[in-house]
Structure 1
Amino acid sequence: MSPDHPPGLDPDRLRELLDRERPGLVHGPLSGRLIEGGRSNLTYAVTDGATRWVVRRPPLGHVLATAHDMRREHRVISALHPTAVPVPRPVLLCEDPENQAAPGAPFYVMEFVEGTPYRTAEQLAPLGPERTRAALLGLVDTLVELHAVDPVTVGLGDFGRPEGFLDRQLRRWGKQLDASRNRELAGIDELHAALGRRLPHSPAPAVVHGDYRLDNVLLGEDDRITAILDWEMSTLGDPLTDLGLLVMYSVPLGLPDSPVSTTATAPGHPAPAELIERYAARSGRDVSAVSWYTAFAWFKLAVILEGIHYRYTLGQTVGAGFDRIGDLVPVFIEHGLTTLKHGSEEG
């Protein structure tokens, strides 16, 4: 496979499509490369030597169309692009599975946005405490901007089913857990049941990102967010689920060499309490139930990690670090139980 033709993408066919659908956009032969780091959908950078774009497509050989919905991602960034929410400009959506640009899969093209994704505390450290703090507070402010968007006004009024959202989420992740059960996990059923008993009343629905954290955004040279990426889990639902996940990722795991990346230990990283207070002050939302949402995030990640561990035991994972994923699951369960018992893990 030529380096200009990475697996799953044919830049020559892509140029033919763009010339037909967006004449004058491309000014030379296209070359492409796979951008590493994604865990689900595939992301490519393509260029004609002067301008760069990004292509997103489902994994090679995928079977669950609903889990890799290109039209959904394209729709949400198209709706949000005219708003204050920083997202890449959409260029083209191709839903024809017979297309030869990304063989066998729908895909979309968007503008390339300059910026850096920060995945670990070590990557953040060179910024220093003040810039790190500003970046994380900016992450909260941008989340507030997202949740302030009126879904109906931007054409996303039917983007999800907000009624019963939390109950469905809890049931969905309970089923995911059952699908990967192959060992005893102390406390996980207790956590699931406790979350069900304490289900909070959701505020007015908002556009929810679904996986909102620092390594799903790009930071520009001024440490401001230039783009929110990875919208594959976005929907219309309870905005506090995004906050709970952000808070969860801001709690140090206390595990050296963890295979799950976190920026929480970077010097200058705000404590969870400060992030919660800033969201509350800027959004005007009642965050008194944030401990539930944070505990739910711990539960959801425990289920995801257990699923990865289960696939590892079946020999279905490729790469390093999977042998340690299973040891993390009890840690996430314990954090979830502690959060529900003692309230939000503030500071």
Structure 2
Amino acid sequence: MPSDLGSAETADLEGRVRAALDGIPHAARVTCLRRLAGGSSGLTYLASLAGGDRTRAVVRVAPAGLRPVRNRDVLRQAWVMRHVAGTVPVPVVLTEDPSRPIEVPPFVVMEFVEGEAYEPQLDGPATGPEPTRRSSRRAPWPRPGSSPACTGSRSRP
């Protein structure tokens, strides 16, 4: 299976992703795995697929040797995507592999969604989505201090 990285770690990840997809009905086989450039949210790969319902998928993997916490907790990210699906647009999670987090990092395979990536920390506010699109992405709950229970005077005790 070709890879543009050529490292032993990538070859191992390709094999693990291939094995994980083998257990999914209508899944494809991985023909290539290449690291996506840019971003600041961990290791992200584009998997080229053949023989299934999809031609591409995204693989998110926690870095080896580091505990999968915060932005590296790809399993938590998959859990969140599964639970908000249908209420906000998120990719479909195809499979995941919890592995042994430190020795063999966990990964998540999700559908590839065409579009533009927006990284606020890298792109800055000037290149972000239009304000109407940005506001539609806000959470449906009120901001802190704006709920009816918090209105009125805020006198000090």
After TM superposition, the structure 1 = structure 2 runs for residues 326-341 of structure 1, keeping only pairs within 5 Å, are none
Whether the 8 Å contact between 1:5 and 1:32 is mirrored in structure 2 is no
Contact 2:32 2:49 (C-alpha < 8 Å) held by counterparts: yes
Percent of matched pairs sharing the same residue: 28
Structure 2 distance, partners of 1:81, 1:7, is: 35
Letter in 2 for 1:139: R
Decide which of 85, 96, 101 is 2:99's aligned counterpart: 96
Corresponding residue of 1:42? 43
Q: Tell me the equivalent position of 1:113.
A: 113
Whether the aligned pair in 1 keeps the contact of 2:57 and 2:110 (CA below 8 Å) is: yes
Where 1:88 maps in the other structure, the secondary structure is: coil
Task: Tell me, in whole angstroms, the C-alpha distance in 1 between the residues paired with 2:38 and 2:25.
Answer: 32
1:24 maps to: 26
Indicate the SS of the match to 1:79: helix
CA contact 2:92–2:110 (8 Å) conserved in 1: yes
Q: CA deviation at 1:105?
A: 0.7
Q: Secondary structure at the match of 1:117?
A: coil
Deviation, 1:33, is: 1.1
Compute the TM-score of the two structures, normalised by the length of structure 1: 0.34
Partner residue of 1:15?
18
Q: How does 1:64-75 map to 2 (within 5 A)?
A: 64-67=67-70, 68-75=72-79
Give the match's secondary structure for 2:69: helix
Residue 57 of structure 2 aligns with an amino acid whose one-letter code is W
Asked if 1:135 is matched to 2:130, the reply is yes
- Flag the structure with higher strand content: 2
Q: 1:81: how far off?
A: 1.0
Query: How do residues 221-236 of structure 1 correspond to structure 2 at under 5 angstroms?
Result: none
The AA in structure 1 aligned to 2:17 is L
Change (3 A) 1:111 1:34: same
**1:195-344 alignment to 2 at 5 Å?**
240=143
Question: Hey, which of these two has a bigger chunk of helix by percent?
Answer: 1
Greater radius of gyration (CA): 1
Deviation string 1:235-266 (CA, Å, 9 cap, x unpaired) is xxxx637xxxxxxxxxxxxxxxxxxxxxxxxx
Q: Which sections of structure 1, spanning at least 5 residues, go unmatched?
A: 125-131, 149-205, 207-238, 242-283, 290-347
In the TM superposition, what is the alpha-carbon distance from 1:24 to its structure 2 partner? Answer: 2.7
- Could you tell me which runs of 5 or more consecutive residues in structure 2 were left unpaired when the two chains were aligned: 152-157
The aligned counterpart of 2:155 is: none
